[in-house]
Chain A
Amino acid sequence: MADRDDIDATDEEKARVKEMQAEVGKGGSPSTSEVTSTDTRLFARAVGYGDPIYYDEAAARAAGHRALPAPPGYTGRPIFNPGSGRGGGGGRDPLFPSGLNGGTEVEPVAQIYAGDVLTSVSTLTSVELLPSRAYKRIVVRQTETVYTNQDGDVVAKTRGTGISY
Chain B
Amino acid sequence: MADQTYWDDVEEGAEIALENEEMESQRLVVWAAASGDFYQIHYDDGFAKNNRLPDIIVHGALKGMLVGRLLDEWTGADGRIVKWNVSYRGMDPARQALKIWGTVTKKYEEGGEGLIDLDVGVAQPDGTQTTPGTATVALPKK
| A, B from the same assembly | yes
In the complex, the answer to whether B88 meets A47 with C-beta atoms within 8 Å is no
With a CB–CB cut-off of 8 A, which chain A residues contact B121?
none
In the complex, the answer to whether B65 meets A71 with C-beta atoms within 8 Å is yes
In the complex, the answer to whether A105 meets B1 with C-beta atoms within 8 Å is no
In the complex, the answer to whether A71 meets B68 with C-beta atoms within 8 Å is yes
- Complex-state Cα separation, A107 to B82, whole angstroms: 6
With a CB–CB cut-off of 8 A, which chain A residues contact B127?
none
Q: Does B107 contact A (CB under 8 A)?
A: no
With a CB–CB cut-off of 8 A, which chain B residues contact A1?
none
Interface size class of A (residues with CB under 8 A): 20 to 34
With a CB–CB cut-off of 8 A, which chain A residues contact B133?
103
In the complex, the answer to whether A87 meets B36 with C-beta atoms within 8 Å is yes
In the complex, the answer to whether B80 meets A46 with C-beta atoms within 8 Å is no
8 Å CB contact of B21 from A42, A48, A71, A72: A48
In the complex, the answer to whether A72 meets B71 with C-beta atoms within 8 Å is yes
- Complex-state Cα separation, A162 to B86, whole angstroms: 13
With a CB–CB cut-off of 8 A, which chain B residues contact A49?
69, 72-73
Contact flag A47-B66 (CB < 8 Å), given A39-B34, A77-B36:
yes
B64 — nearest CB in chain A belongs to which residue? A104
With a CB–CB cut-off of 8 A, which chain A residues contact B85?
103-106, 159
- Complex-state Cα separation, A72 to B138, whole angstroms: 14
8 Å CB contact of A103 from B71, B83, B87: B87
A80 — nearest CB in chain B belongs to which residue? B36
Q: Does A145 contact B (CB under 8 A)?
A: no
A64 — nearest CB in chain B belongs to which residue? B77
B30 — nearest CB in chain A belongs to which residue? A46
Interface string of B34-61 (1 = CB under 8 A from A): 1110000000000000000000000011
8 Å CB contact of B60 from A39, A46, A101, A159: A101
In the complex, the answer to whether A42 meets B30 with C-beta atoms within 8 Å is yes
Residues in B lying within 8 Å of A, measured CB to CB: 1, 18, 21, 27, 30-31, 33-36, 60-62, 64-66, 68-69, 71-73, 77, 80-88, 133
Q: 10 shortest A-B CB distances, which residue pairs?
A: A105-B85, A103-B87, A46-B31, A107-B83, A73-B68, A46-B34, A46-B30, A42-B34, A43-B34, A72-B68
